[in-house]
Chain A
Amino acid sequence: MGRVTSIGTKVRSGEYRQLYSAHHKVRNFLAGEMLLSVCSRDICAGVYRIVLDRDDVEGIESVEVAEGKLYVNGKAYCFGAGEVYHAPVLDEIRDYPLLIHNLNGAEAMMMEQYTKGSIPSLLIKGALPNTVDGALLRYYREGLRLLFAGDYPAAVRCFRHRGIGLSPAGDDFLVGLVLGMMWVQQTQKKELSKIVDTIIHESDVNNPLIRTFMMQAKELDLDADWARFLSSLAQHGGSYLAEMQEIMKHGASSGADQLSGFFVACELFCSGMEQRIRKTVKKE
């Protein structure tokens, strides 16, 4: 019998056979309009994920979840209450200067160690004008300008469905933006729900992968890497940098793109931020 490392609270009972995308460490199955991800042990826990105690998940064609039972390619896997992953509830921030110190440190590091091909890398390195990257950069810069000017619907239209990757980079950015705003709302008691609703509406989510990410962001159903990163921002010491590094490893550039959206939310709604991303827009 195989072993389950974690199974998310939002994994519903049912049989899943329709593959949406595959990697040797993750296989995404369609689950209605969302995705159920079956992952190897080095992928962190999440509410829509089943993490198996295996080095890879190649060859998995079907998953069946029933009450307390899981079958992978027909083979039984055991799990108990201890393996069920609940997204953590984040506490209200008490030491705001510490938080801002850590956020600024984290953003500086992200901008310095940008992931190749990500939105931060385009903003920092630039791109040749008559290339796909150059065209994307023009949209992203305009989107950022509009965001900082407060024109959220027009800004979202510059990002949505644009960019490389299975989850286009612009959509990942919007996921991070929503996640950042929801986090600010929950931990700093700022009312941002109307803006979040506008952003989600304009995001016109039409891709099951992005829909799953966006739903997790809106509900703050954080995966374990994001949960550890956001918790570490409220703590002394530099552990937030190592935690952020784990997010930067997500996908090809998904993690970095989501982080850039997250930091833009912080620049918009947390006073004391150094506006590193906003400054890249002024470079134009």
Chain B
Amino acid sequence: MIAKAKIIKGMYLDSVKLMLISKELRGLQGVEDAVAIMATKENKDILAATGMLVEEAKTAKDSEIVVVVKAQDEPKAESAMQKAEELLTAPVKKRSGDKAHPGSIQAAVRDLDGADICLISVAGKYAAAEANKALDMGLHVMLFSDNVSVAEELYLKQKAVDKGLLMMGPDCGTAIINGVPLAFSNVMQAGHIGLVSASGTGLQEVCAGIAHRGEGISQAFGTGGRDGKNAIGGLMLCSCLDFLMQDADTKVIVLIAKTPDAEIQAKLWEKIGQSSKPVVVNFLKDMEVPPIADMQYCNSLEETAAIACAVLRGDKPMYPEGEGYPLPKPIAGRKYIRALYSGGTLCYEAMQMYKRRRGHYPKSNIASETEFMLKDVWHSEGDCFIDMGADDFTVGRPHPMIDFTLRLKKIAEEAVHKDVAVILLDVVLGYGSHINPAKELVPVLQGLDKEIVVVCHVLGTEDDPQHLHEQVKALKDAGARVFTSHRRAVAEALDIVEQGGV
């Protein structure tokens, strides 16, 4: 074994480069260890302990960086030192890839003549500045990014209102504009129901419900979840309502939002009162609503779709027949539901349904009251409803609608508990989502203990790229109880545990 060292003088290096050099050298054939390190007394002790404190490293000053290599023989050590030299003097690589992409919104607009909407998906700290640029250029904005401050959101939305533009988001995951699905959206036929929503999967679930009833949409706007808060003032909810009230293609308006603050509710009720078109409202909570002509309040996303279609047709709400699964026989000790959602609003709606039945919420990572918040999001307790699309699970990972890895792991983990009766899942289809969710889920579902019932809600339309009926069939064949209505899937899960488990 032989060690060689080189002191780096007169070069200004950063830690990232030092680490990359260490990593590259360690990967060379015949190299046992390598490090680029500050030559402090303590680090020299470390080098000494590993047989790497050669003479040159000993003479390095505290403030100098030393590259030390330990290799099998002299030629390999020498070759590694040459490589180190090369890496030290290599210029910083900036960007790779030879395909020309526009480097700015301005360049993109130049490339795509006539574009009037800009979808922004960049790291949160740059998002507001990019949205601001787009608004300045007269573009409508769909801001997919999150981690934008309330103050920035308010500024952007006020600017958009002043300019007569849309500012959807931040954290707006779904919109269908002029028939074009943006981000996570389903394929919808053109029709006469116009939607505005401060909830992504809420909007998708209602759209799918409308499609299941043979109707289509005029527009589907997202506003971002905070629009209904006092701090934002419902600016985009109101703007989009105004648009739909004026839009000739829209005959029925649907408004969905996770319970807006009281002041914003008042503002929205006033606006709805001025509408000459029927409005169907769902604030995802049981609540008293003011009597407004031609306004109907709904308690579930399925009901919202059913009523909107019924109002459009001048008919009764239509609910397809149940799937007719017989309740399974109870099994002693199996009593809990473990819900693993990819859609935040679906998880929220399921929690509301649970509360209606049980009088309290289940444990959750998205509980708004501390009492019901999971102590550790990675360990379920009792009946537990988890939104796996929340930041707890998505930082540094793709969203669970795209990547099933973490959810599959969690399904397997939940299934080993002998007190779990039901695993409740959602599968969201459409653009942006995984291209074949059933292919991911089926092997895992087939491997589960047969005492556990899997209840699965598939959100999608027949025209979605994943083919709704194929997904439903594959999941049913794997033994899951499959529903295309979220309300019915949750009701099934609750029915099973309430009759004493499986």
Contacts and interface: CB of A to CB of B under 8 A. Distances in A.
B261 interface: no
A133 B50 CA distance: 10
A18 B15 CA distance: 19
B488 to A, nearest CB: 29
A23 B396 CA distance: 24
Interface in B11-67: 12-20, 22-23, 32-33, 35-38, 40-43, 46-47, 49-52, 62-63, 65
A169 to B, nearest CB: 9
Contacts of A253: 15, 19
Contacts of A252: 14-16, 18-20
Interface in A159-176: 160-168, 170
B12 A19 contact: yes
Contacts of B378: 108
Contact of B43 (A21, A162, A245, A251): A162
Contact of A166 (B18, B41, B42, B375): B18
Contacts of B146: 242
Nearest to A24: B92
A165 B18 CA distance: 6
B38 A161 contact: yes
A162 B42 contact: yes
Nearest to B39: A161
Given A105-B376, A164-B19, A168-B43, A131 B50 contact: yes
B395 interface: yes
Interface in B366-416: 366, 368, 370, 373-378, 390-392, 395-396
Nearest to A22: B12
Interface of A: 19-24, 26, 42, 44, 95, 97-98, 101, 104-105, 108-109, 113, 116-117, 130-136, 139, 160-168, 170, 206-207, 236-246, 251-254, 274
Contact of B373 (A20, A98, A108, A246): A98
Contacts of A162: 40, 42-43, 46
A16 to B, nearest CB: 14
B19 A165 contact: yes
Contact of B38 (A22, A24, A168): A168
A225 B94 CA distance: 24
Nearest to A53: B129
Contacts of B36: 164
Given A21-B12, A135-B50, A165-B19, 4 more contacts: A19-B12, A161-B38, A161-B42, A240-B391
Contact of B35 (A116, A164, A239): A164
A240 B147 CA distance: 10
A165 B38 contact: yes
B80 to A, nearest CB: 14
Nearest to B147: A242
A26 B43 contact: no
Contact of B376 (A165, A238, A274): A274
Given A98-B370, A132-B35, A42 B124 contact: no
| 10 closest cross-chain pairs (CB), A and B | A238-B391, A23-B14, A161-B40, A22-B12, A252-B15, A252-B19, A161-B42, A241-B395, A165-B15, A238-B392
B365 interface: yes
Contacts of B65: 166
A245 B125 CA distance: 12
Nearest to B369: A236
A164 B49 contact: no
Contact of A251 (B15, B47, B376): B15
B166 to A, nearest CB: 25
Contacts of A26: 14
26 contacts: A19-B12, A101-B373, A101-B374, A101-B375, A104-B376, A109-B392, A116-B23, A131-B32, A131-B50, A132-B47, A132-B52, A139-B46, A161-B40, A162-B42, A164-B36, A166-B18, A167-B15, A168-B37, A206-B40, A207-B38, A207-B63, A238-B390, A242-B391, A243-B147, A246-B125, A252-B19
A116 B15 CA distance: 13
Contacts of A239: 147, 391
B155 interface: no
B409 to A, nearest CB: 12
